[in-house]
Amino acid sequence: MAAVTTLILGLVIGLLPLVRAGLGPLVATISVIPPIAILPILFIIFGLGETSKIVLIFLGITPVMVRDLAGHISAIPEEQIVKAQTLGASTWLTLLRVALPQAMPRLIDSLRLALCPAWVYLISAEAIAADVGLGYRIFLVRRYLAMDTILPYVVWISLLAVIMDLALLSFSRAAYPWAHAERAGR
């Protein structure tokens, strides 16, 4: 959900100045609100179940990703936009043929960077109000200083995060090799 929302909002905010003027400040404001601060509100609205955790992760990572992608799209050289328009491309076609191909590798990079905060939000929500989950289990045994129980959970979370990161990187390299070609030379 965060990736799709980021893609749509990032493209239109980055490419269309009128949308950037209207939504840009709102997204910037929302992106600096600490998601953990609104967790009690989410628990009141959505209950203590999985929905509040999903909304927390969504609200925690999406605005930052939107700002990143919109900034990347707005930095597309003006010459590329002008060339597309000179060749008869409408705004919609420019968005699909010029901006979207450049947005996808950046979106995957944003997702990779958002993995850490997403895990933090999930574990925090489980620690505060849950009766299942890794975060709940870690905070349950922390009272007893049971490092022999906590460390395997931390290793498991780290392993899951690394696998997710490597999967996204592999997908990006396979789907968008041109975006990784310049990095290989460094």
Residues 149, 107: Cα–Cα separation, whole Å = 36
How far lies 39's CA from each of 33, 43, 49, 64, 112, in Å?
Answer: 11, 6, 12, 18, 23
Instruction: Calculate the CA dihedral of residues 64, 66, 70, 71 and round it to 10 degrees.
Output: 10
pTM of the model as a whole: 0.86
Contacts of residues 135-142 at CB distance under 8 Å and 24 or more positions apart, as own/partner, are: none
Q: What's residue 77's pLDDT?
A: 94
Q: What's residue 24's pLDDT?
A: 94
Q: What's residue 170's pLDDT?
A: 97
User: 13-27 burial, b for 16+ CB within 10 Å, e for fewer?
Assistant: bbbbeeebeebbeeb
Residues 26, 115: Cα–Cα separation, whole Å = 23
Q: What's residue 151's pLDDT?
A: 86
Among residues 62, 49, 47, which one has the least CA distance to residue 107? 62
Domains with residue ranges and CATH for the chain: 2-184 (1.10.3720.10)
Q: What's residue 133's pLDDT?
A: 75
Among residues 12, 111, 16, 94, which one has the least CA distance to residue 57? 111
Q: What's residue 153's pLDDT?
A: 85
Predicted confidence pLDDT, tens digits, the chain (186 residues): 999 999 999 999 999 999 999 999 999 999 999 998 998 899 899 988 889 889 999 999 999 999 999 999 999 999 999 999 999 999 999 999 999 999 999 999 999 999 999 999 988 888 877 777 777 777 777 777 778 888 888 898 899 999 999 999 999 999 999 998 866 555
Contact 152, 99 (CB under 8 A): no
Among residues 106, 5, 18, which one has the least CA distance to residue 57? 5
Element counts in the chain: helices (H) and strands (E)? 10, 0
